[in-house]
Chain A
Amino acid sequence: MNKNYPLLAKAAEERIRLAVEVFNAREKLHLSQQVLAKAIGTTQKVISRIENGDVNVGMALVGRISEKLKFDSETFARIFQRPAIWTSVDYALQSSEIKTDKREVNYINESLITYKGEEQYETCLDRA
């Protein structure tokens, strides 16, 4: 087996999950590919390729699409197959309100999470 296979396969799977989420959200909002493309400053061809899972999409474009299609943390969790709690914390950490490395974030599931550097999260339940 090719040593790159797991990485390529993971990327392809993420593209497919993003494609399905974009398609479903767009259909739910009754938007055509053309209208969505215009709203986020791209072309219909690009939207079509994203929905076919054929292209790697940059962060900036994902951001614009998610804003227009109202993606929540659950959607991102489905795309990247990570628990919603992680995507929420990641999002919170990226927001400008939080400035230090060690901080506490109120999570929507009413649990308290402490961020202790990279990929170390501790919840109230863990500490109890």
Chain B
Amino acid sequence: MKAVYYFDPFYQYCPVKKYLSQYKSNPQDSVGQRTKKENLLVSIRSKIDFVVLNQGRQVGSISKGLKEYSFFEIRTRKDQDVLIRIFYIRDCDKIVFLNAIEKSDKDNRKKDKRDMGAGLEKTEKYQNTYNKYKNTQKCYEEYI
């Protein structure tokens, strides 16, 4: 099985790739910031590798299926209070990373809940687009 990023044919970008690119280290970053970014990217990468190794199946708490949706998620903690949720689906020999969103532990506010709901709906939209166009055009980009 191989991991790929979902490529949106309308907006011409990969949501997960775009999200992860913000953690690329810049020359302006301090040593602390660079270390934090490196740790986070390595942690995400290790989890993705582990999920690929297990053919995208739900294993322990590393990857989980969502109750109301047909996709899975990988959770990684960014800060004390912020969690990164990366959503993916399994498609034949591919694990397609659809979307990534951040969730605050303090999401008691109505706005936070609404944002999370909107993020999940967007992911479902990506999934539908992928399923609709996967046979006619390339809706993914290689994960490196």
Contact = CB atoms under 8 A, between A and B. Distances in A.
Interface of A: 2, 4-5, 8-9, 12-13, 15-16, 19-20, 23-24, 48-49, 51-55
Contacts of B20: none
A101 B98 CA distance: 55
Interface of B: 38-39, 42-43, 45-47, 49-50, 59-62, 75-77
Contact of A9 (B42, B60, B75, B77): B42
| Majority-rule SS of B interface residues | helix
20 contacts: A2-B38, A4-B38, A8-B38, A9-B42, A9-B45, A12-B46, A13-B50, A15-B43, A15-B46, A16-B50, A16-B62, A20-B60, A23-B61, A52-B75, A52-B76, A52-B77, A53-B43, A53-B62, A54-B77, A55-B77
Contact of A19 (B38, B39, B49, B61): B61
Contacts, number: 51
Contact of B59 (A4, A13, A20, A52): A20
Given A12-B43, A15-B46, 4 more contacts: A9-B42, A9-B46, A13-B50, A16-B47
A5 B76 CA distance: 18
A4 B25 CA distance: 14
B75 A16 contact: no
A10 to B, nearest CB: 9
A16 B46 contact: yes
Contacts of A2: 38
